[in-house]
Structure 1
Amino acid sequence: MARLLIASNRLPVTVHAADGALSVERSSGGLATGMKGPHERLGGLWIGWPGDLDGLDARQRAEVDRQLDALRLSPVQLSRDEIARYYEGYSNAVLWPLFHYETARLPPEVKDFDAYQAVNERFADAIAARHEPGDLVWIHDYQLMLVPQLLRDRIPDARIGFFLHIPFPSSEIFRILPDRERILEGLLGADLLGFHTATFVRHFASSALRLLGLPTDVDRIRLGAREVILGVFPMGVDAAQLGAVAASEKVQRLADETRAGAERLLVAIDRLDYTKGIPRRLLAFDALLRAHPELRGTIRLVQVAVPSRENVEAYAEYRAEVDALVGRIHGEYATPRWSPIHYLHRSLSQDEIVALYRAADAVLVTPLRDGMNLVAKEFVASRSDGDGVLVLSEFAGAAAELAEAVLVNPFDVERTAAALHRALDMPEEERRTRMAALRERVLGYDVHAWARAFVSRLERTRPSVPADLAPSPAAALRAAIDRAASAPRLALLLDYDGTLVPFATTPELAAPDAELLSLLRRLAARPRTEVHLVSGRPRRTMERWFGPLDVGLHAEHGVWSRFPGAAWEGAPLPDMPWRDSVRAILREFAERTPGSLVEEKTAGFAWHYRGADPEYGAAQAKDLSLHLSTVLSNVPVELLPGDKVVEIRVHGIHKGRIATEVARRSPEGTLLLAMGDDRTDEDLFAGLPGGSVAIHVGPAPSRAPLRIPDVRAARRLLAALADAR
């Protein structure tokens, strides 16, 4: 059975030191509870920050380490400066508000990404130091989003899972983040990415497409030679444990005491965090009392606000706002014998919380935005009596599962007030019908089922890609270079876009850089070596970019060729009566697809949509291909969908003709080495004579027997050939 390494910002313990005595006590939070089973069952380690230990002496620190080791907990010690910048700074002052759509709370200048990266590096080092072959790694939450790729860099074949416990925002919100690409690349180092809801998966997929150009195929993203699986794993609660607490005599007694009197009871339990929507909830309660004066004196709202991040300025301001609202509502409605709100700004024990759940007529869970919100599920799990109403924000992740709750839009204060009135007046039969359905779901998929489902899916992932799509071993590539370097004569046939340079938004932006031009000159200067650039680009572009070089140039997939030392010559072409109609179709699609453009060539056209909205552009490309397939069904042309391009070219004009012609013109004993990345280069590989070397760039299927991952690898390989003697 695979061992499990868990990594989270905090270890699931609290260190207490008082009067010389020291203890390490397990936490009871949702993550600590959910991971306890896998941690114990799979015999692994939990890696994280143990809390601030600066006040402990050397003996006490040693004792903490001993107790943590006994619990299989591995500490990552963080300084107060690191906590201030990585945790309170970047994680909670930047990522937290942005991921919860609170963009107005972002600091004027986004800082501390360097500290965030440095701490993520520390965590990756800590995991790598403890990793053994076959281990599973499960990384948790927004504080560690760079760790998957950092760990992948250290252990390429590690099996890595990541779960995000907060919302993943829409791509339009996420793109606000200055370091957005780095965060996405960090997350995509995982083999399995887990989210609470399908909406969060869609948002992540959209961001990966729009910012990195990576499309999602149903539930996976292909990244180079790897696949990243995207999964929906809604977190649950320890329903059985909560049910047992709710059934205890102590909790029953506390619940009865809370219900003493004839008042009907509304309960809300939150961290004092601006995402929880406490002010709007108070305004809705105010609106309820205003619209239904008959409820005054007969209803009470218990609002528990657990202190949170009190040293962060935004939270101090938020507390002042809540305090002021509570005071205003009290001042307006309270009487000598009745208070409309019981406001508790402190933590409560689990017994006290469950007693409130049992006593409540309705529990209000109305965050402005939340990843899941386990309070909703805790309430349901505690109501073994089958009664009570859950009023739930549609912007909480739990709303995707708990459809029988009374769903509200917390931004609509008046309708939320109406929903509170509906909850209070709901007939018993309807209350029990709704609660029965909610309990079936919450008890059937608890926190333990959540953890099992994620670990099981991670166990089934395969970090290595299929052998035919993986980069070739270094030894095989080295042997190919050695063979090319020692050949009596050598002819290189090199594709351009996607092979020698990355793809650009528009064709003109992919001009060769100084490093590439220098590399081509070095290759052309090798004794007994010819270099041929084989591209779909127009002749005038090839001439402008590479005309001064002593290399062969082949434009428009072989319509035009300029062999070294010779003039341009064109291939014979048939009449093309279809050009005008196809040109009109392409221009129509370009007009209705902003960011796309039409490139006209001697023997065809190319419709580029790299600059278009990724999702809309891909949909338009499909429509265009289907339309052209019908229009050109009896015309001797080929339709070639490529990477953000749709090409139309005369049948029989392809790169394979160039390979045949170069081989025909070359002296006997010449070795041909071809390198390319897309569908058109498969024709080039097919046209090579026996004994040639074919190298595919990228993860797509190919007939080439050798494979390298990207443009950088292609340049490195050619540089090694240029330097070989």
Structure 2
Amino acid sequence: LGSSIVGFHTREHGNHFLSCIDRILEARIDRDSSTVSYGGRLTAVNPYPISIEWPSRWLENQRPVPDCRVHIRERHAMGPDRLVGIGVDRLDYTKGIIERFLAVERLFELQPEWVGKFSFIQIAAPSRTIIDQYQHFHDQVYALAERINKRFGREGYEPIVLKVKHHEPPDVYEYYRASDLCFVTSLHDGMNLVAKEFIAARDDEQGVLILSQFTGAAQELPEALVVNPYDIDQCAAALHMALSMTPKEQRARMRSMRGLIQEFNVYRWAGRMLMDAARMRRRIRVMKQVGQASGRGR
């Protein structure tokens, strides 16, 4: 509260912050203006959903989407007609990777026609590997992928491709461009920029975003297929819907989401915070001047 503004990804998080202040500090809170007066200072508490640059620098040297599709499928010994899903995360339990794999397994159980036609590629950057709990989670993810591959895979077909290593942004963007869908199943995430990166990568206006309702991004991107990652059947149904979606509907959804990310990019995000901070400083100066004038008037 020594700052002019305090920002959160979502209004909900800001409201929780105000509630904590109300319980803990002797401060005056104006809910209408979302400001806090404490220790002789005035602070505004606002939502500033972080975004990405537009256009992305990682698109500058990318191949056309059809070439990306061919290259990624050849790299993984997949046929040209294989439908591909992509997940990009740290190997962290909060990202819902196990729930994601269970949804893929459930898709194959409920819609067996996708077996042999759809593969899911999971890029998972190693995270906190020296911590026992994270190593245990790492083992769980590997074991689940192996179980699903043994159950539904066959020679020349691997349902889940697990790539546990760091990938540079140009490589990740090539996967985005090559995929038919992006699956984000975070169990809790302030924003999740993977969703926005996938949208930015798709200048062909194709591809489907399946997005956890527990991400800040879900509040900005209603055109995504928004799911509860704990509801495995719902996630499997969303996968089926994404794989069956017509190019026309994909284009309509993607065009709307791309328009939003283009308008509310990271530069606007930063500019809005700077402008709000300057506005608050001016407001504080005026309030001080008014207070001083009132004091002299007495």
TM, length-normalised to structure 1: 0.38
Q: Please say if 1:308 is aligned against 2:123.
A: no
Residues 43-87 of structure 1 show CA distances to partners (whole Å, capped at 9, x for unaligned) of: xxxxxxxxxxxxxxxxxxxxxxxxxxxxxxxxxxxxxxxxxxxxx
**Cα RMSD for the two superposed structures:** 2.4
Q: Distance in 1 between matches of 2:68 and 2:251?
A: 23
Q: Distance in 2 between matches of 1:257 and 1:268?
A: 18
Residues 208-241 of structure 1 show CA distances to partners (whole Å, capped at 9, x for unaligned) of: 2233354343221111321110111111112212
Aligned to 1:236: 51
CA contact (8 A) 1:225 1:469 kept: no
Q: Distance in 1 between matches of 2:104 and 2:182?
A: 13
Aligned to 2:287: 466
Of 180, 189, 192, 2:2 maps to 189
Of 215, 221, 224, 1:396 maps to 215
Q: Distance in 2 between matches of 1:327 and 1:277?
A: 17
Aligned to 1:424, the other structure's residue is in SS state: helix
Rg larger for: 1
Identity %: 36
Aligned to 1:343: 162
Deviation at 1:466, TM superposition (A): 2.5
Q: Please say if 1:320 is aligned against 2:134.
A: no
CA contact (8 A) 1:233 1:450 kept: yes
Aligned to 1:206: 19
Q: Distance in 2 between matches of 1:242 and 1:395?
A: 28
Deviation at 1:391, TM superposition (A): 0.4
Q: Where does 1:412-431 land on structure 2 (aligned, <5 Å)?
A: 412-431=231-250
Q: Which runs of 5+ in 2 are unaligned?
A: none
Counterpart of 2:235, as a letter, is T
Q: Distance in 1 between matches of 2:189 and 2:296?
A: 48
Aligned to 1:222, the other structure's residue is in SS state: strand
Distance verdict in 2 for CA 1:296–1:371, change over 3 Å: same
Deviation at 1:450, TM superposition (A): 1.1
Aligned to 1:217: 31
Count of matched residue pairs: 288
CA contact (8 A) 2:59 2:173 kept: no
Q: Distance in 2 between matches of 1:239 and 1:204?
A: 31
Q: Please say if 1:383 is aligned against 2:202.
A: yes
Q: Where does 1:489-568 land on structure 2 (aligned, <5 Å)?
A: none
Q: Distance in 2 between matches of 1:324 and 1:704?
A: 77
Q: Please say if 1:408 is aligned against 2:236.
A: no
Q: Distance in 2 between matches of 1:367 and 1:327?
A: 22
Q: Distance in 1 between matches of 2:166 and 2:41?
A: 45
Deviation at 1:275, TM superposition (A): 1.0
Aligned to 2:50, the other structure's residue is in SS state: coil
Counterpart of 1:257, as a letter, is H
Q: Distance in 2 between matches of 1:403 and 1:275?
A: 22
Q: Distance in 2 between matches of 1:449 and 1:324?
A: 43
CA contact (8 A) 1:239 1:382 kept: no
Aligned to 1:239, the other structure's residue is in SS state: coil
Aligned to 2:287, the other structure's residue is in SS state: coil
Of 91, 101, 112, 1:293 maps to 112
CA contact (8 A) 1:362 1:423 kept: yes
Deviation at 1:312, TM superposition (A): 2.3
Aligned to 2:269: 450
Higher RCO by CA contacts (8 Å cutoff, separation 6 or greater): 2
Counterpart of 1:467, as a letter, is K
Q: Distance in 2 between matches of 1:702 and 1:284?
A: 67
Counterpart of 1:362, as a letter, is L
Structure having the higher helix fraction is: 2
Q: Distance in 2 between matches of 1:208 and 1:703?
A: 33
